[in-house]
Structure 1
Amino acid sequence: MAEVELKLELDPAQAETLGGRLAELLGPSAAKPLVSTYYDTSDRRLRAAGLSLRIRRSGNRYLQTIKADAGGNAGLFDRAEWEVEIGGTEPDPRAIADTPLDHLAVPAWSLMPLFSSEVERALWQIEEGDARIELAFDRGCVLALGVVEPFCELELELKEGEPATLFAWLDRLGDVGGMRLGVRSKADRGYALVEQGAGAASKAGPVLLGITDTAGEAFATIVRACLRHFRLNEPLILAAADAEAVHQARVALRRLRSALSLFRPLLSDPESEKMRAELKWLAALLGEARNLDVLIGHIDIVELKPRLDAARADVYDRVCVGLNSPRSRGLILDIARWAEAGDWRGTTDFDKAGLRNLPVIRFAGQLLDRRRRKFRKAGRDIAGLDPAERHDLRIAAKKLRYAAEFFAGLYEDKRAKKRRRRFLAALDRIQTSLGELNDAETGRDIIADLARQDPDPLIAQRLEALAAERFDPDAGKGISAAEAAFDDFARVKRFWC
């Protein structure tokens, strides 16, 4: 059967606060221990197929559960699940029959324990009108290769009713314990420890669209994927001021903002405008840190290192304050709620409703054609563009690239894949060349600000000279590279036809 659940994460130090709030709303619930062991083959065949297998011990009972990932959703999970009680701690071949593991031809003897989780779970059953919800409050840890990762999370599983009911419970809980949207299952946590240890930035994963999806369904799937990408990187920013995590979180926000722009014709509610404004704020917060990280990567002057390090520490302090604020945490939760149950889903506007229900394969083809024509027209005379216009062209290239990546899974035949690789590679070259010109502009401005603020006249003079010598935005070589990349792109064929 399928399960639909909303997952929330919070700081383990805030567990008692949330536990008290739950008891106040729902009454007491005795916590019971759950110990789970997760299995896979030595070459991670289950993981590669989007599956997980665990054996959970609760008292004297052992439950074997196989879950199929629905594509890395954020917060709201909709996954197929096969669960059966077995007689012991090892995978039972009889419980694998007629599951995706059976189709993978993975014999039980080839499965080995990889990691485990130890959880104290408090459970409540909620019935309201036509809705039935199971609320689980978990406190525990994941253990792998001698590494222990503590966690605290809240899961609201929808047994019957509409997904909007799950989000309604967030309003009742309030901002207790600094809750954030959850994107990782316990299996995700364990595999992360096994495969890379604690703390590695995550790139955007594939967006799994169905060929029979509507444009509205595709939009919600894309939003979930972008939120997941952001949330996977946010903890690493907060814990380690990781430059690559900041970069990936910014990419996630750019992709999300691009999705709002690309699907704008089918969005009609005021909430979408609010989301755009708030996402712009959050992107700007991370953008300052990213720009400084790029600048530091270009400077190797020893005397300037203390100034740059101090500036970076100050910027990252502001980033952490912003990410920890109710404004940022609430924004991500609001976007998740809006994607699943926002007014845009029920608009009575005839044109927008028609677009929302249009088969995504038709919507994608029309959108990609339109964006490609617009970009090719805008880039005909790169040398004649001023810096602001080149920046706009770079943004247009990104939106076209993100659209191509969002819809890539709809075009999976051999010819389409080959053309898609060429299409994205050509766009990447244009983005790189235009990005280098933009970095020069940004680097010059940052160094000029540092020079104005530095109390040492000699250092200020050195910074001014560096801005003039090393970050000259009027670089003919860079413009020539962008023009050559654009000419290459103009010859690349579409992959969506």
Structure 2
Amino acid sequence: MMRLEPTAPLWVAARALIAERKCDLEQRWNRAERTFDAEDIHDLRVSSRRLREALAFFSPCFPSKSLDRISSRTKHLTRMLGTMRNTDEAMIFFRSCATSGQRAPELDRLLSQLEQERKQELKLLKAGLQSHPLAPLREQLDALLLEPDLFANERVDPFTQIVAFAREMIVERMKGVAELLPLATDEKQVDALHRLRIAIKRLRYRYELLAPLAGSGHAELLAIVKAYQDLLGTMHDLDLFAEMVAKRLPETSDKTRLLAEIAGLRHALFADFSAMLRRSPLPDTGEQMRRSL
């Protein structure tokens, strides 16, 4: 991990940290193109999200038009990688259902459909990466890093200390989390829980970006936020799986049993989420993040 002084000017930190995210994206892109392994594709997707968070974080330091073009291109990459990842997760889950207890013919057919869909998604992904190669994005990022908006910048003082700006930006991400928490304490608020997951994910990526500034406790705070994200992510997956079962499986006792099983798993996860809120309240975690910088 690179070193960064808390007193470094904002624009200097912006160039250094975006360059670090760019390098990570290049490495993971090249690996994913070689293997098209499920985990390598997932790692590239996460890397694209981390780059997007870095671009959003330092957006006041660069010309808006250049930044918007890069952000749009990176967002397209994230979406392109997401479809196959979702199918992979569904296949893992339904295979576990098929191996636990009596196999249902309907479940076998669903798995067969997902396998065929994944093959088609892989073809589309390969074609997508060919039609949207890494080189133009790399060139755009290189050009962006050479044109920080240093003078007559009305959005931010690019010479302010990175640590002061970073603390403000952690508070900004925590506002989004705090707004959703009251609704997300209701198990039936599926959309609020989904949006809270996204808000927590963005908070995590922002705090990861600031690792070179963080003092003691950084790893522990990241672990807490990641635990929230993982738990809410699994709940969201279960919501998608339940929707898939409801739409694709015929009305049989096996379908009813499977939906009940998914509902039971989700209920247990929500209980874990509620316990985590009591044990490690999110507002306290956000404040600890701010203070650690």
Alpha-carbon shift at residue 406 of structure 1 (Å) = 1.3
Alpha-carbon shift at residue 208 of structure 1 (Å) = 4.0
Alpha-carbon shift at residue 268 of structure 1 (Å) = 4.0
Specify whether residues 239 and 212 from structure 1 end up closer, same or farther in structure 2 by C-alpha distance, changes over 3 A only: same
- Residue number in structure 1 paired with 2:112: 306
Unaligned segments of structure 2, at least 5 residues = none
1:346 aligns with 2:158: no
Q: Which has the higher strand share?
A: 1
Alpha-carbon shift at residue 310 of structure 1 (Å) = 1.8
1:442 aligns with 2:247: no
- Report if the CA contact (8 A) 1:278-1:331 is conserved: no
Alpha-carbon shift at residue 263 of structure 1 (Å) = 2.5
1:329 aligns with 2:121: no
Distance 2:10 2:122 in 1: 38
- Report if the CA contact (8 A) 2:62-2:144 is conserved: no
Distance 2:194 2:2 in 1: 27
1:240 aligns with 2:72: no
Report the TM-score when normalising by structure 2: 0.80
Distance 1:465 1:330 in 2: 50
- Report if the CA contact (8 A) 1:255-1:402 is conserved: yes
- Residue number in structure 2 paired with 1:58: none
- Residue number in structure 1 paired with 2:50: 255
Distance 1:470 1:217 in 2: 52
Specify whether residues 266 and 393 from structure 1 end up closer, same or farther in structure 2 by C-alpha distance, changes over 3 A only: farther
Alpha-carbon shift at residue 377 of structure 1 (Å) = 4.3
Alpha-carbon shift at residue 428 of structure 1 (Å) = 1.5
Of the three residues 259, 266, 289, the one matched with 1:475 is: 266
- Report if the CA contact (8 A) 1:213-1:359 is conserved: yes
Specify whether residues 489 and 218 from structure 1 end up closer, same or farther in structure 2 by C-alpha distance, changes over 3 A only: farther
Partner secondary structure for residue 160 of structure 2: coil
Alignment length (residue pairs)? 275
- Report if the CA contact (8 A) 2:60-2:156 is conserved: no
- Residue number in structure 2 paired with 1:399: 202
Identity of aligned residues (%): 19
Letter aligned with residue 202 of structure 2: K
Larger relative CO (CA 8 A, sep 6+): 1 or 2?
Answer: 2
Specify whether residues 208 and 427 from structure 1 end up closer, same or farther in structure 2 by C-alpha distance, changes over 3 A only: same
Letter aligned with residue 309 of structure 1: E
Specify whether residues 379 and 322 from structure 1 end up closer, same or farther in structure 2 by C-alpha distance, changes over 3 A only: same
- Residue number in structure 1 paired with 2:162: 360
Report the TM-score when normalising by structure 1: 0.50
Q: Which has the higher helix share?
A: 2
Specify whether residues 470 and 229 from structure 1 end up closer, same or farther in structure 2 by C-alpha distance, changes over 3 A only: farther
Letter aligned with residue 228 of structure 1: C
Unaligned segments of structure 1, at least 5 residues = 1-205, 452-458
Letter aligned with residue 496 of structure 1: S
- Report if the CA contact (8 A) 1:222-1:406 is conserved: yes
- Report if the CA contact (8 A) 1:267-1:352 is conserved: no
1:347-376 Cα offsets, whole Å, 9 max, x none, are 54433351x222212211222233335423
Alpha-carbon shift at residue 233 of structure 1 (Å) = 2.3
- Residue number in structure 2 paired with 1:489: 281
Distance 1:209 1:386 in 2: 41
Specify whether residues 350 and 224 from structure 1 end up closer, same or farther in structure 2 by C-alpha distance, changes over 3 A only: closer
Partner secondary structure for residue 346 of structure 1: coil
Distance 1:256 1:379 in 2: 26
- Residue number in structure 1 paired with 2:218: 420
Specify whether residues 306 and 381 from structure 1 end up closer, same or farther in structure 2 by C-alpha distance, changes over 3 A only: closer
Distance 1:386 1:331 in 2: 41
- Residue number in structure 2 paired with 1:319: 125
Letter aligned with residue 312 of structure 1: R
1:193-214 Cα offsets, whole Å, 9 max, x none, are xxxxxxxxxxxxx354344432
1:96-132 Cα offsets, whole Å, 9 max, x none, are xxxxxxxxxxxxxxxxxxxxxxxxxxxxxxxxxxxxx
1:389 aligns with 2:189: no
Residues 17-36 of structure 1 correspond to what in structure 2 (within 5 A)?
Answer: none
Letter aligned with residue 264 of structure 1: S
Distance 2:258 2:141 in 1: 42
Distance 2:245 2:119 in 1: 16
Distance 2:258 2:152 in 1: 53
Residues 145-294 of structure 1 correspond to what in structure 2 (within 5 A)?
Answer: 206-294=1-89
- Report if the CA contact (8 A) 1:250-1:286 is conserved: yes
Distance 1:283 1:461 in 2: 35
Alpha-carbon shift at residue 468 of structure 1 (Å) = 2.8
- Report if the CA contact (8 A) 2:88-2:118 is conserved: yes
Larger gyration radius, structure 1 or structure 2: 1
Residues 121-140 of structure 1 correspond to what in structure 2 (within 5 A)?
Answer: none
- Report if the CA contact (8 A) 1:288-1:315 is conserved: yes
Specify whether residues 445 and 222 from structure 1 end up closer, same or farther in structure 2 by C-alpha distance, changes over 3 A only: farther
Distance 1:392 1:360 in 2: 29
Letter aligned with residue 296 of structure 1: M
Q: RMSD of the alignment, in Å?
A: 2.9
- Report if the CA contact (8 A) 2:61-2:150 is conserved: no
Distance 2:218 2:11 in 1: 24
1:372 aligns with 2:174: yes
Distance 2:156 2:185 in 1: 42
Alpha-carbon shift at residue 400 of structure 1 (Å) = 1.4
Alpha-carbon shift at residue 267 of structure 1 (Å) = 3.9
Letter aligned with residue 271 of structure 2: S
